[in-house]
Chain A
Amino acid sequence: MHARGNGAASRSWKDSRMTTAQRPHEAHLAHPDAPAPADALTVPATRATGCPFDPAPTVERARREEPVTRATLWDGSSCWLVTRHEDVRTVLGDPRFSADAARPGFPFLTAGLRELATGTRASRTFIRQDDPEHARLRRMLTAEFMVKKVEAMRPEVQRLTDELLDAMTDGRNSADLVAEFALPLPSLVICLLLGVPYDDHAFFQQRSAVLLSLRSTAEEARAASDELLAYMTQLAEAKRERPDDGIFSRLVARGELDSQEIASMGRLLLIAGHETTANMTALSTLALLRNPGQQARLRSEPSLIKGAVEELLRYLTIVHNGVPRVAVEDVTLGGTTIRAGEGVLCALNAANRDEAVFPGGDTLDVGRDARRHIAFGFGVHQCLGQPLARVELQIALETLLRRLPELRLAVPFEEIPFRHDMGIYGVHALPVAW
């Protein structure tokens, strides 16, 4: 294994800022023996210096010039990269492309993901399984995240939002928005929903960060995953004895899942439920601070918030390294034949800038109808938690703008530590003042 394994997660944001700023080609560090030429299409791809909101230039160029193209992964293996909106929808919506990570040829974005899917003690979750097994497991959860259920949680999410902002602004005029607001809010919400004690947040946030880091070694990812699974197994036991009205208790009570299935489902929900929304909240705030005209429009027309959140999801597309699939049959896509057994990465971020669907897509426009974005993926694996993510983002951003009219960056923009080193994009910290 060449991958560096210093546990990006445990590093302070200042260290990671230094790392990303000084080593813009860090993706290649994972493979120091075979440095790729500067413009070769490697994934995870490196963003251009100074354009932290835009997809990597290599990926953007691929969409314009060769929308179904070959790319080299961190471990030297290769796969297809699909970049146009229409083609990505086709791949993600077509059962001839499998999400089953145990199939040969499946492309992995990190050593840790490969280890967890193919190692000796692989633990499966429905995000990386196909129907009918995927549908069976997903349908145990769809009622929990359906629109009307989540809409009914608005008062609770609003209360948590206000409490966090009360604490953040109490007697102070600056703070790290990630640590004090963007990360705690979705963590508190998913803990409440699942029935996970929020007091354990340092434990599960740190393990989640290891699992999402592009730099973690297979061993580090394995250890983090095992610890989370053990934690979830213990929690399932506790819920069996003393059920509450959380999702986890209901899953246990169904009696259809063995303890390993319950633990891996809980791990998936806990990680997916807090990391993504946290990063969208902070990165959206930063994008609005950098686009004062859009920010002013949203402040003066708060009713735009729902559409603005869709536009921010599109523009920022935090699942930024591609969604993996493997072909199970030969499929011709845009004139290119993808053979059975070949891996495919769907570049959601490039697809969400596709001019054919979003004219002027490189511009943030909170008045745009962005509903066709695919920041939540597409097909039967499309994000299960999207109604929840929407409600959280709408409330968090609307409240932040309303309560902090003087919100601004507390450090120069150049010093913001972007998450180039993580599977979910965003910022490691966002020092703001008001």
Chain B
Amino acid sequence: MRIHADQEKCCGAGSCVLAAPDVFDQRDEDGIVVVLDAEPPAALHDAVREAAAICPAAAISVTD
């Protein structure tokens, strides 16, 4: 799995951080998404898919 987060689209409400805290964080200066682990282990894949599904700005894309 490979994750891409579009920082232009992100509106910074942090749903992805709540869904997959090991994979997503928010930048200190403006709360915009940062990917901590762009190729996370299989155990986190479901959480990442959930994060992508609930992201309100469609900023998270996942390729297998």
Which A residues lie at the B interface, using CB under 8 A? 92-93, 135, 138-139, 142-149, 371-372, 376-384, 386-387, 390
Contact = CB atoms under 8 A, between A and B. Distances in A.
Given A145-B31, A146-B12, A379 B53 contact: no
A146 B56 contact: no
B56 A377 contact: yes
B64 interface: no
Q: Max chain A CB contacts within 10 Å: which of B25, B30, B50?
A: B30
B26 A382 contact: no
A135 B7 CA distance: 12
Contact of A93 (B28, B31, B56): B56
B58 interface: yes
Contacts of B56: 92-93, 377-380, 382
Nearest to B18: A147
B13 A383 contact: yes
27 contacts: A93-B58, A135-B11, A139-B12, A139-B32, A142-B11, A142-B32, A143-B31, A145-B12, A145-B13, A145-B31, A146-B12, A146-B31, A147-B18, A148-B17, A148-B25, A149-B31, A371-B54, A380-B9, A380-B56, A381-B11, A382-B11, A382-B15, A382-B56, A382-B57, A384-B13, A386-B13, A387-B18
Q: Max chain A CB contacts within 10 Å: which of B17, B27, B56?
A: B56
A92 to B, nearest CB: 8
Contacts of A378: 56
B26 A148 contact: yes
Q: Max chain B CB contacts within 10 Å: which of A139, A142, A149, A381?
A: A142
B14 A386 contact: yes
Contact of B31 (A92, A142, A380): A142
Contact of B54 (A92, A147, A372, A381): A372
Interface string B30-42: 1110000000000
A115 to B, nearest CB: 28
Contact of A371 (B30, B31, B50): B50
A320 to B, nearest CB: 20
Contacts of B12: 138-139, 142-143, 145-146, 384
Contacts of A147: 14, 17-18, 26
A142 B57 CA distance: 14
A146 B14 contact: yes
